[in-house]
Amino acid sequence: MAERLLEVKDLSTQFFTHAGIVKAVNGVSFTLDRNETIGIVGESGSGKTVAALSLKRLLPARPGQVVEGSLMLGARNLRTISDDEMRGVRGNDIAMIFQDPMTSLNPVMKIGKQIAEAITLHQDKSKREAWKMAIDLLARVGIPDAPKRVDQYPFEFSGGMRQRAMIAMAISCNPDILIADEPTTALDVTIQAQIIDVVREMQAQFNSGVILITHDLGVIAEIADKVMVMYGGRTVEYGPVDEIFYNAHHPYTWGLLASLPRLDASEKERLTPIKGQPPNLITLPAGCPFTVRCPYRRDECRDNWPELEIVAAEHGVHCWVPVDERQGLRVELPHFKEPVA
């Protein structure tokens, strides 16, 4: 039995704004074990990032608030520990890599100092030792000429190198959990592959659990062990990565898969978008948030949130369409007619 690192139960996060209460995350649950990678997918505004920031208590303090749920990091509940304890958790137990490496580093502080700062904070190391470790870390994430680079400022680094430096900073204290919030979105495709490799290598070295937030199913297929599909702040489906790709049960997951570009498609074929707009998080329906865009919606969808239905081992879905009907519908979908490469 793998060591359980994190257990999130019924997490709900809301933003109290002038326009109304933004229900960003609504009753999300998941677990993370050592050496495991969970991918959280969903479109912009589906609550992926807010869920991650809730874990680290990094929501903008005034409007954002975790209103429900328990966030257990081992025996500690991240919702109830003091701010001081939380600072110890940040960086040391849970580290995070952000989406945009161009703006995520302090422009007027040397790269080395930004890494060493995290080390001296959480470990009993002198400044000199921390600086040496920073050089070592930069070399490990694949930055050439690290002894020279450590002395430079972010503006002297390319985007890919900045993201490597961010990873170096994140792993500097050997965290149990690494949250990567769209780590490759701002980078070009070749660099994306490299960064994913670095994340994977670091996970192997430090035996961390990784939470990978992305809207890129390609990245998920590459690295994740299990997947959680979010829509309108809710988990609509979760399961092992192969189940999600080959045995998806939720119409929204189907839509995500169908919208992927395919190399074997003819030139005239267009990408299949999910019709409609992302939901307004202030006026979410009580039921399934995907209702208005769902081609298979029925009367009960809007007002009632369907119970969790286990369709295979570790594979759950929330949907009102009966399971046999779903299987029939899925066979009809273009992307399930032949295996996705």
Work out which of 21, 30, 34, 88 binds other proteins, going by CB under 8 A.
88
User: 58 or 265, CB closer to other proteins?
Assistant: 58
DSSP string, 276-333: S-PPPSSS--SS-TTGGG-TT--TTTTT-PPPPEEEETTEEE--SS-HHHHHHHHHHS
26-85 binders of other proteins (CB under 8 A): 56, 58, 60
Q: CA-CA distance, 181 to 329, in Å (whole number)?
A: 33
User: 60 or 144, CB closer to other proteins?
Assistant: 60
CB of 94 to other proteins, least distance (A): 9
Q: CA-CA distance, 42 to 252, in Å (whole number)?
A: 9
Does the footprint of other proteins cover residue 6 (CB under 8 A)? no
Work out which of 13, 46, 54, 104 binds other proteins, going by CB under 8 A.
104
CB of 252 to other proteins, least distance (A): 29
Instruction: Tell me which residue of 36, 84, 54 sits closest to 207, measured CA to CA.
Output: 36
Q: Read off the amino acid at residue 233.
A: G
Q: CA-CA distance, 134 to 119, in Å (whole number)?
A: 8
164-193 binders of other proteins (CB under 8 A): 166, 169
Work out which of 22, 50, 73, 105 binds other proteins, going by CB under 8 A.
105
Q: CA-CA distance, 212 to 225, in Å (whole number)?
A: 10
Does the footprint of other proteins cover residue 98 (CB under 8 A)? yes
| Phi, then psi, of 234 in degrees rounded to 5 | -115, 155
Contact between residue 252 and residue 237 where contact means Cβ atoms under 8 Å apart: yes
Close Cβ partners of 332 (under 8 Å, ≥ 6 residues apart) = none
User: 56 or 226, CB closer to other proteins?
Assistant: 56
User: 115 or 229, CB closer to other proteins?
Assistant: 115
114-153 binders of other proteins (CB under 8 A): 117-118, 121-122, 153
CB of 155 to other proteins, least distance (A): 5
Q: CA-CA distance, 52 to 211, in Å (whole number)?
A: 8
Does the footprint of other proteins cover residue 90 (CB under 8 A)? yes
Give the residues lining the site for other proteins (CB under 8 A): 56, 58, 60, 87-92, 95-96, 98, 100, 103-109, 117-118, 121-122, 153, 155-156, 166, 169
